[in-house]
Homo-oligomer: A and B are copies of this chain.
């Protein structure tokens, strides 16, 4: 049996070294080192059905060490997934192939997460394990009862995010999470002892994890360790002592196997060492048959699950949630009616809380939280109970001071499906979780970031806490919808858009300070077009003031002052750039006509606003760090008042006339 398992594992090794050699690019060392462990996991433990990669109750497998992508491509192919085909694998790392350099969830079913940015796979797996327990609490063992498995490398465990994720997992007692650590003692720069002397097992025990160990090339040892991990009620770290590039006789055990093709000679030597006679990309039929048989292992469990699902009164609800369809009523229409009836002068963070009260009552799949700023982010609604180790049905997570861990966990929850995660921190700390926000966007998942204290308007905490460049730099992340609503109505509209956006993340930038409700009456969702004319000019229009968030109020006052001097000024509120840029040219030209002076007003960097104001427009912004003082003092100090802006507009009109 051990010998046979080794043959199966060697099929992974052969594919890994052949594909990397063909591309002359890639990472053979990890797949070859972890092939034995991965083979035991995928043939004896992993609950999945290659015939249906979307089976809701499948185990989740995350290759956190994503550079070893050939490992998962080999596993998917060998166990019988429709993709990747052997041609896909032959084209590893080429434009046409779904076998990208790192695994991409949007290219291949069975790839549960995009990995490669180290540490985040582990952290996303924590989110998946949370989602699983939460849905289990709501839908029961019959419908939701699966594990989350991770393969992680030394890099994953050195990155800071693993500390945040492992701490959270230990706290929440996520016993169905098992991380298999490829303990090969090699990093890119050389031996791990160049840079670390840590006792990783002791550290994980300190988080409340169970730690098992195995010889990663001894099948009895691997089996014992995986069984131990599966049985233990705590999250488990399995330290798999391996040799990187196992099978490549002259290079194994060295960083030379990590990130480059082995070379023709070494591949030939490895074939000899592994007694692997077949041609590149050719798997001997008995070995392929054994793999395919292992791939069919889960079909019975899947069928039994289907039967239970069909009989369950919760079927429709589970399927609705897992398919990411919102309930017909999100609660927001009634909330907007109420705002029309009773305008609110409140901070948009508070407006967000009011919207959430409606949303959380109407949409059972929202799962909120904050990185220890619950009262400041206004992310917790009254009925939300905490999700705890003893009660996973709670819908609020106290993430602790772990912004990156929170964001990565949100990605994992969204990837798992069945929940819509939202989480809060200060906007300035978007920097702390930016790598995960980028992965939300790349992975096309519905994670919703609630980021408050969105400008110098936060006041006294000073420049370390005042975002300046953040809003604009977030707008640049492809596929991230960034919203900065101006009042309670826009906040509700932006929440509606965020929830409806199933194929990408949203980020709401919200104020600490109170803002008047600028929109009265009831209308369509005006934020849906990204920008709209809030006030038309009274006098003949010479100026268009474009602003976002808290500066829309400033724009309105500026327009009033200009109109007082006979200068016609429109006010355009632009809560979402990417939505505005997607409008047709006529709409855009109508809002921002070529013959008017376009003036931007936003308490952040001006770089970027020239997209709308042009080379000779006027940008009222902040291109330096803020300062510590009460918010009103800062707005005055940095010129975000009608008094300061009006003379600049008049001067710009005069200059424009000269040109």
Contacts and interface: CB of A to CB of B under 8 A. Distances in A.
Given A187-B401, A400-B158, A610 B614 contact: yes
B460 A442 contact: no
Contacts of A607: 472, 475-476, 608, 611
A402 to B, nearest CB: 6
Interface size class of A (residues with CB under 8 A): 35 or more
A462 B608 contact: no
Contacts of A409: none
A373 B195 CA distance: 12
B188 A374 contact: yes
A462 B102 contact: yes
Contacts of A141: none
Contacts of A102: 461-462, 464-465, 628
Interface string A203-223: 101111000000000000000
A300 B404 CA distance: 47
Contacts of A629: 93-95
B476 A605 contact: yes
A556 to B, nearest CB: 24
Interface stretch (A42-50, A286-294, A303-311, A432-440): A432-440
A638 B464 CA distance: 38
Interface string A111-150: 0001111100000000000000000000000000000000
A163 interface: yes
Contacts of A159: 160, 164, 401-402, 432
Nearest to A205: B202
B200 A206 contact: yes
Interface stretch (A268-276, A333-341, A619-627, A639-647): A619-627
Contact of A372 (B189, B461, B462): B189
Interface of A: 23, 25-26, 66-67, 93-95, 97, 100-102, 104, 114-118, 154-155, 158-164, 167-168, 170-171, 187-190, 194-200, 202-203, 205-208, 370, 372-376, 386, 398-402, 404-405, 428-429, 431-432, 434-435, 438-439, 441-442, 459-465, 468-469, 472-473, 475-479, 605, 607-608, 610-616, 623-625, 627-630, 633-634, 637
